[in-house]
Amino acid sequence: MNKKIILYVSYDGITDPVGRSQILPYLLNLQNKFHFILISFEKKHVEKEILDIKNLLSTSSIEWYPLRYRQKWPIISTIINLFAGKKYVKKIIKKYHPALVHTRSYVATWLVLRQVKKKQIPLLFDMRGFWVDERVDGGLWNLKNPFYRLVYLFFKRWEQRFIKRADHLVSLTHNAAEWMNKHWNIPLQKISVIPCCSTFDLFNPALYPETKKIEFKKSLGIDENKFILGYVGSTGTWYLLDEMIRFFEVLNKKNNNSVFLLLVNQLDDKKKIEIEEKKLPIIVYEKIPYLQIPAYLSIMDAIVMFIKPAFSKIASSPIKLGEALAMNKPVIINAGIGDAAYVEENGLGFVVKDFTIKEFERIADLLFSSSLQDIRKKAYAVYDISVGVEKYTQIYIQLLNRGKEPLHQ
């Protein structure tokens, strides 16, 4: 039986960490049932990674077309990317006649909107959060600047067009889905909630027995009896590194046999000096390869992730949340981020209500006194990639069949 062709368009690169964890694993699992034409935007100096992924996809049902992601000149580079991408999408649709278009994010949806409307192709708009408002809340678009205000208003108008034209939406969180239902009158039947899932087979604590963890700690110069608080992810814009360090200071006073292990993409020299001046047991590693992350998570006793709370963050699902839970680690997350309440309600970790010393003390006491059980087992039904793959499968089948029954949420 011939597989239906699905055009998947992402403004994120497949060579980026996000692409490696949140795009490629899904498509590799889905390609047994569907034939994918994949368009993504790749940054400079990733030729080796592109070649590696092309080799990986050479025997798959995924045809990949990596486009150049220009970023030298803010806004101008984005405009060039938009129009070059739009032209390329038109060419690909004409060549392959896809039965369905799946767009990941706002920019990708703008690239295809005219063509899917013209060709009457079903459209799945994978929102990945409230992108336009994220740019403002994160301080990337200052609305006092007339130019950024125009860009903001431009995409806010298109946001409603995307939602109206899309045959179905994917939201990362239930909070965002409920907000859209209440404020934008979008029927909940039109929205499926799929958080950032993780590959539980890769993030598997069973692969790291105690002897292996002790050896790994020793190789990092960490005593085997230390309590290790960890953070994995980016710094800047959304990620509250200063608040996480202050939390560790409180935790370390309660248990001075602690270490804070930071795995970050990059840390500027000024921040490194600030950390050194605090004279705290903080260890920093930069640019750890994705496949090595599970080993580091395996030796952590708890993972902290503080993110700047803002309106747009009700639609956020941290990638590292699912990975930490897959490794059976309790997480400490702040209120106002996506479905954070789910973490505490289901015994997966603790939610910080604010960033005061008193609140940090409360959470540290809970962390040391509580014994959370079966974190990985409880998280599996929501955060394992197989669950996300099954949801996407059902959405695809429904849209391809153009049925009238509501989709699974």
**Are residue 364 and residue 308 in the same domain, yes or no?**
yes
**Are residue 241 and residue 174 in the same domain, yes or no?**
no
The total domain count for the chain is 2
Three state DSSP letters for 162-187: HHHHCCEEEECCHHHHHHHHHHCCCC
Three state DSSP letters for 329-371: CCEEEECCCCCHHHHHHCCCEEEECCCCHHHHHHHHHHHHHCC
**Are residue 51 and residue 178 in the same domain, yes or no?**
yes
Domain of 395, CATH number, reads 3.40.50.2000
Please say if the pLDDT value at position 37 is more than 50.
yes
**Are residue 301 and residue 245 in the same domain, yes or no?**
yes
Element (DSSP H or E) covering residue 141: none
pLDDT tens digits along 374-383 = 999 999 999 9
Beta strands in 11-84 (DSSP E): 34-42, 62-68
Tell me what the mean pLDDT of segment 29-34 comes to: 96
Q: Is residue 248 part of a domain?
A: yes
**Are residue 167 and residue 231 in the same domain, yes or no?**
no
pLDDT tens digits along 61-101 = 999 999 999 888 877 888 899 999 999 999 999 999 999 99
Q: Is residue 408 part of a domain?
A: no
Lowest mean pLDDT of 25-29, 154-158, 259-263, 400-404, name the range.
400-404
At residue 76, the pLDDT reads 83
- Residue 107 CB-half CA count within 13 A: 20
Helix, strand, or coil here: 306? Answer: coil
CB 179 within 8 A of CB 163: no
CB 303 within 8 A of CB 232: yes
At residue 109, the pLDDT reads 96
**Are residue 248 and residue 162 in the same domain, yes or no?**
no
Confidence of residue 409 (pLDDT cuts 50, 70, 90): very low
CB 126 within 8 A of CB 100: no
At residue 236, the pLDDT reads 77
pLDDT tens digits along 194-228 = 999 999 999 999 999 999 999 999 999 999 999 99
* C-alpha to C-alpha distances, 132 to 43, 196, 253, 338, nearest whole angstrom: 22, 19, 41, 16
Q: Is residue 116 part of a domain?
A: yes
Write down the H helix ranges in 97-171. 106-119, 131-137, 146-165
Q: Is residue 121 part of a domain?
A: yes
Q: Is residue 200 part of a domain?
A: no
Q: Is residue 76 part of a domain?
A: yes
Which residue in the block uniquely carries the two structure tokens 């129009």?
Answer: 83
At residue 405, the pLDDT reads 44
Of 408 and 338, more confident: 338
At residue 1, the pLDDT reads 52
Tell me what the mean pLDDT of segment 1-18 comes to: 91
- The fraction of the chain above a pLDDT of 90, given in percent, is 83
Q: Which of 382, 392, 289 is nearest to 338 (CA)?
A: 382
At residue 79, the pLDDT reads 86
Please say if the pLDDT value at position 18 is more than 60.
yes
At residue 78, the pLDDT reads 83
Rounded Cα distance, 321 and 317, in Å: 8
Tally of CB atoms within 10 A around 406: 11
**Are residue 281 and residue 210 in the same domain, yes or no?**
yes
Q: Is residue 287 part of a domain?
A: yes
**Are residue 124 and residue 259 in the same domain, yes or no?**
no
pLDDT tens digits along 134-143 = 999 988 899 9
Rounded Cα distance, 402 and 312, in Å: 32
CB 375 within 8 A of CB 297: no
* C-alpha to C-alpha distances, 121 to 97, 115, 282, 407, nearest whole angstrom: 9, 8, 52, 18
DSSP designation for 200: T
Sheet holding 349-352, edge to edge: 282-286, 258-264, 227-233, 302-305, 331-334, 349-352
At residue 403, the pLDDT reads 44
Tell me what the mean pLDDT of segment 291-309 comes to: 96
**Are residue 124 and residue 148 in the same domain, yes or no?**
yes
At residue 15, the pLDDT reads 93
Rounded Cα distance, 126 and 292, in Å: 28
**Are residue 234 and residue 185 in the same domain, yes or no?**
no
- The fraction of the chain above a pLDDT of 70, given in percent, is 98
**Are residue 281 and residue 354 in the same domain, yes or no?**
yes
**Are residue 156 and residue 292 in the same domain, yes or no?**
no
Q: Is residue 353 part of a domain?
A: yes
Rounded Cα distance, 202 and 362, in Å: 33
By residue range, what is the domain housing residue 18? 4-195+385-401
pLDDT tens digits along 358-373 = 999 999 999 999 889 9
pLDDT tens digits along 150-173 = 989 998 999 999 999 999 999 999
Please say if the pLDDT value at position 310 is more than 70.
yes
Tokens coding 8: 């998947």
Confidence of residue 270 (pLDDT cuts 50, 70, 90): confident
Q: Which of 306, 242, 231 is nearest to 265 (CA)?
A: 231
